[in-house]
Structure 1
């Protein structure tokens, strides 16, 4: 069984936590105003931590020491459903990155062991472009990024 990951924006941790109670996750939410990017197998923990390190030039350990890095804002069903926060630094890096930079970063990101050698850089680049769009829209609305995870 795989892991489902939907990335979305919300005005605060409380609003993001409410998404944990939506059957099927934020992509299934009855509220059409919820901005969601579905990246089913791209996990917020190691994979997005590595992405943040690549985009910002910060050391991975420094990324993971951030208090918002994968902070659980909601846990349901004995940990089978989670809503995790993403860092403001990752959001800013994604929002500010031009498409050329995202395509450039997709290559080394695809070679990380968490993708098990099965990630196509071009596919990851398109996913990054979608995620960057989400980050830009969230920033414009003064919202933050989160990830809904279902194991």
Structure 2
């Protein structure tokens, strides 16, 4: 079992919350999305953003805001029971517009080189650039559409 991470575009956080199923799932939501496995926003996507922007990766490179669960996290005690959505997920975050803009700004000619660099991330279980380049192209396409329509990118995570 792995971590499922879907990236999608939407006009705003309110429309995301309205479209989610009561359990937080995205099934039938109608958003354009890219389904991935194990491409978390902080580390794996963050390494791609670092490669695009030519800066060193850091854990705070991809800034995001929690959209789901909608209840505040019960700090400092944490959730009271194992059924709390903060424990069970799924979780949805809105990515900072700088992530969208970095992806949307990638020229087609840079895609093969970026894919080759991204696949070296040890968190990715990829041995051939042909396996990661289509994912990169889909993420770029999603970001281009989001930016053109004034939308944001979101990350849905489920265990």
TM-score range, shorter chain: 0.7 to 0.9
User: Where do 1:1-150 residues align within 5 Å?
Assistant: 1-21=1-21, 25-26=25-26, 28-29=27-28, 31-32=29-30, 34-61=31-58, 64=60, 69-75=63-69, 76=85, 78-116=87-125, 118-150=126-158
Change over 3 Å in CA distance of 1:99–1:73 after alignment to 2: same
Higher alpha-carbon Rg: 2
Deviations 1:105-125 (A, max 9, x none): 111211112115x34322211
> Runs in 1 of length 4+ with deviation above 4 angstroms?
none
Contact 1:9 1:145 in 2 (8 A): yes
Unaligned segments of structure 1, at least 5 residues: none
Say which structure is richer in helix.
Answer: 1
CA RMSD of aligned residues (A): 2.2
Give the 3 Å change call, closer, same or farther, for CA 49–79 of structure 1 in structure 2.
farther
TM-score by length of 2: 0.78
Corresponding residue for residue 81 of structure 2: none
Between the aligned partners of 2:113 and 2:14, the Cα distance in structure 1 is: 35
Equivalent residues, number: 144
Structure 2 residue runs of 5 or longer lacking an equivalent are 70-84
Contact 1:17-1:83 at 8 Å conserved across structures: no
User: Taking structure 1 as the reference length, what is the TM-score of the superposition?
Assistant: 0.82
SS of equivalent to 1:71: strand
Measured after TM superposition, the shift of residue 11 of structure 1 is: 1.2
